[in-house]
Amino acid sequence: MRISLLLLAVLFFGTAFGQTKNNIEAAEYDPINNRYFVSNGSSILVTSDGGNTWSAFGNAVASHGMEVMGNTLFAISGDFVRGYDLTTEEEVMEIEIASAIFLNGMGNNGTDLLYITDFGASRILEINVSDLSNPTVSTVVNNTGTTPNGIVVDNDNNRAVFVNWGSNTPIIEMDLDTYELNTLINSGLTNCDGIDNDSYGNFYVSSWQPTRITRYSDNFNNSEIITAPGLSSPADISYAQSTDTLAIANSGNDNVTFIYFDQTNNIASNDVQSYEVQLIQNPLNESSALRFNLSTAALTNISLFSIDGKLALNFFEGQLPAGEQKVLFAGMNLAAGNYILQLQINGELVHSQQVVKQ
The predicted-structure confidence for 102-135, as pLDDT tens digits, reads as follows 999 999 999 999 999 999 999 999 999 999 999 9
Cα-atom radius of gyration of the chain, to the nearest Å? 21
Euclidean distance between CA atoms 30 and 48, whole angstroms = 10
Are 223 and 304 found together in one domain? no
Establish if 273 belongs to a structural domain.
no
What is the predicted pLDDT for the residue at 63?
95
The 3-state DSSP class for residue 156 equals: helix
The 3-state DSSP class for residue 55 equals: strand
- Bridge partners, residue 29, by sequence: 36
Are 347 and 255 found together in one domain? no
Establish if 114 belongs to a structural domain.
yes
- Which of 122-126, 163-167, 216-220, 283-287 shows the lowest per-residue confidence on average (mean pLDDT)? 283-287
Task: Tell whether omega for the bond before 283 is within 30 degrees of 0, i.e. cis.
Answer: yes
Are 256 and 297 found together in one domain? no
Counted residue by residue, the chain has a size of 358
Residue 67's CATH number: 2.120.10.30
Are 77 and 182 found together in one domain? yes
Euclidean distance between CA atoms 143 and 89, whole angstroms = 35
pLDDT at 7 > cutoff 70:
no
The Cα-based distances of 338 to 133, 278, 282, 305 in angstroms read 65, 18, 11, 9
Are 257 and 305 found together in one domain? no
Are 221 and 250 found together in one domain? yes
Task: Tell whether omega for the bond before 210 is within 30 degrees of 0, i.e. cis.
Answer: yes
Residue 137 near residue 125 (C-beta atoms within 8 A) = yes
Residue 116 near residue 109 (C-beta atoms within 8 A) = no
Establish if 269 belongs to a structural domain.
no
Burial of 147 from C-beta contacts in 10 A (0-12 / 13-18 / 19+): buried
Euclidean distance between CA atoms 153 and 305, whole angstroms = 43
pLDDT band at 344 (very low <50, low <70, confident <90, very high): confident
Are 166 and 286 found together in one domain? no
What is the predicted pLDDT for the residue at 13?
59
What is the predicted pLDDT for the residue at 262?
63
The distance from CA 211 to its chain's CA centroid, rounded to whole angstroms, is 11
Residue 328 near residue 315 (C-beta atoms within 8 A) = no
Establish if 246 belongs to a structural domain.
yes
Residue 124 near residue 109 (C-beta atoms within 8 A) = no
pLDDT band at 8 (very low <50, low <70, confident <90, very high): very low
**Average pLDDT, integer, range 338-343:** 86
**Residue 313 domain boundaries:** 278-357
**Average pLDDT, integer, range 99-104:** 95
What percent of the chain stands above pLDDT 70? Answer: 90
Establish if 272 belongs to a structural domain.
no
What percent of the chain stands above pLDDT 90? Answer: 56
Are 75 and 172 found together in one domain? yes
Euclidean distance between CA atoms 74 and 112, whole angstroms = 12
Residue 317's CATH number: 2.60.40.3080
The DSSP element (H or E) to which 10 belongs, if any, is strand 5-13
Euclidean distance between CA atoms 236 and 251, whole angstroms = 9
User: How many domains, the chain?
Assistant: 2
What is the predicted pLDDT for the residue at 4?
33
What is the predicted pLDDT for the residue at 5?
38
Mean pLDDT in the chain?
87
pLDDT band at 12 (very low <50, low <70, confident <90, very high): low
Establish if 268 belongs to a structural domain.
no
pLDDT tens-digit series, residues 293-304: 888 888 899 988
pLDDT tens-digit series, residues 202-227: 999 999 999 999 999 999 988 888 87
Q: Where are the alpha helices (DSSP H) in the chain?
A: none
What is the predicted pLDDT for the residue at 308?
67
Are 298 and 243 found together in one domain? no
